[in-house]
Amino acid sequence: MIDKGLIEAENKTREAALRADYAALGEHLDRRGIDIAALKDRAKGFGVAVPSWGTGTGGTRFARFPGEGEPRDIFDKLDDCGVIHGLTQATPTVSLHIPWDKADPADLLAKAEAVGVGFDAMNSNTFQDHADHPLSYKYGSLSHMDKAVRAQAIEHNLETIEIGEKLGSKALTVWIGDGTNFPGQSHMGRQFERYLSSMKEIYQGLPEGWQIFSEHKIYEPAFYSTVVQDWGSSLLTAQELGDKAKCLVDLGHHAPNVNIEMIVSRLIHAGKLGGFHFNDSKYGDDDLDSGTIEPYRLFLIWNELVDAESADLDLAHMIDQSHNVTDPIESLMISACEIQRAYVQASLVDRAALGGFQDANDALMASATLRAAFRTDVEPILAMARLEAGGAIDPILTYRASGYRKQVAAVRPKSTGGGGGIV
Ligand SMILES: [Mn+2]
């Protein structure tokens, strides 16, 4: 963990400048009729879950270049998650992946409490073979031709729920790699029906107060068709299963240029939006850091979410990225801050003015109203929220000053994994 004294000492060097910037922004926002303190409270109330697997260096399907001091197991990963939340105060929960993070739930709970984080949605995994699963998922899992493989995959999902229940989680995210690489390889209709039938069995096993999220992905690992290819298939699944089933939108799982914010709006309309996997992409499912390629799209997605706040959405927010060339802790910290930034920027959209311009068919002013919010530099709000919550004004520089990576590298042996490391 990062020493509190170090955070305070680092903050001292930046606090006077922050207070001046915050006061200036407060005056500016006041002229626009916006209360900066209310925005700061919203920033403080924000939280996005860190994926446990994101704390290790990721890779591509070609290779993985391990970093220094990579976490050896889920307990090391939780240490790293504690550092990320301690500095950003924006990532209060961790999303676990079974079987990668399998451990005694009592030990997991004790460790999470020690590092100051809780547990978010659980993730099952039937896109690779497990050492203790006798049957292979090479030709699919929940939609497999063979009932015995489907039963094994269903049982794994039920076990993931059972582990999550002991950890205080309230949701299961299901993403499957099932699909085909050749036209004609599988009957697409019957394959989808088998998937739905398996999902219904998992749905029956949901404890009270739990939700199940269906996550779609346009391609990969199957390249011709995937069983849950798009938000249409995901919505059909959620609708067929029932009230506890919702759709999860991973920002990287769409064709290039797809209007994701419109999909968000449609899923809100259907009452079926369950959550997000945040990342950014240039070409496909690149798993790049949130806000690095298309920050305006991230803002527009948040604009839909803030607009729908009266609908009392209960959404799961999680980062889902692969960090190939950066220190994963730094990437996760800066990504959490970018997602929080888009949320705060979307919160200062003048919605009354926007509605008026929409009603008057004033496309230019409607668009300008959105951009006025997007252009506003809300960094002093984010930094002040962090400072008041005990975090770092500058999480990256404070982290670097702490020497944390060097310290853990001394006790965590260098990972030798050089193979494909896609996550
Ligand atoms: Mn995802």
- pLDDT given at position 420: 45
Distance between Cα 277 and ligand 1 center (Å)? 5
Distance CA 155, CA 160 (A): 9
Report pLDDT for 203.
Answer: 98
Distance 271 CA to ligand 1 centre (A): 21
Q: pTM score > 0.95 for this model? A: yes
Ligand 1 centroid to 209 CA: how many Å?
23
Task: Give the Å distance between the CA of 135 and the centre of ligand 1.
Answer: 25
CA of 85 to the centre of ligand 1 (A): 21
25: number of Cβ within 10 Å: 20
The residue ranges of the chain whose pLDDT is under 70 are 416-423
| Residue 180 φ then ψ, to 5° | -140, 160
Taking the centre of ligand 1 as the mean of its atom positions, its distance from the CA of residue 123, in whole angstroms, is 9
For ligand 1, the distance from its centroid to the CA atom of residue 23, given in whole angstroms, is: 39
Kindly state the DSSP code that residue 79 receives in the 8-state scheme. Answer: H
Spell out which residues have Cβ within 5 A of ligand 1, the ion.
250, 277, 320
Predicted confidence at residue 416, as pLDDT, reads 63
For residue 30, the CA-to-ligand 1 centroid distance in Å is 39
pLDDT at residue 417, rounded to an integer: 56
Classify each residue of 407-418 as buried b or exposed e, where b means 16 or more C-beta atoms within 10 Å of its C-beta. Answer: ebeeebeebeee
Identity of residue 81: C
Place of tokens 């979307």: 346
Task: Measure 38 CA to ligand 1 centroid, in angstroms.
Answer: 32
Report the alpha-carbon distance of residue 189 to residue 160 in Å, rounded.
28
**Ligand 1 center from residue 278 Cα (angstroms):** 8
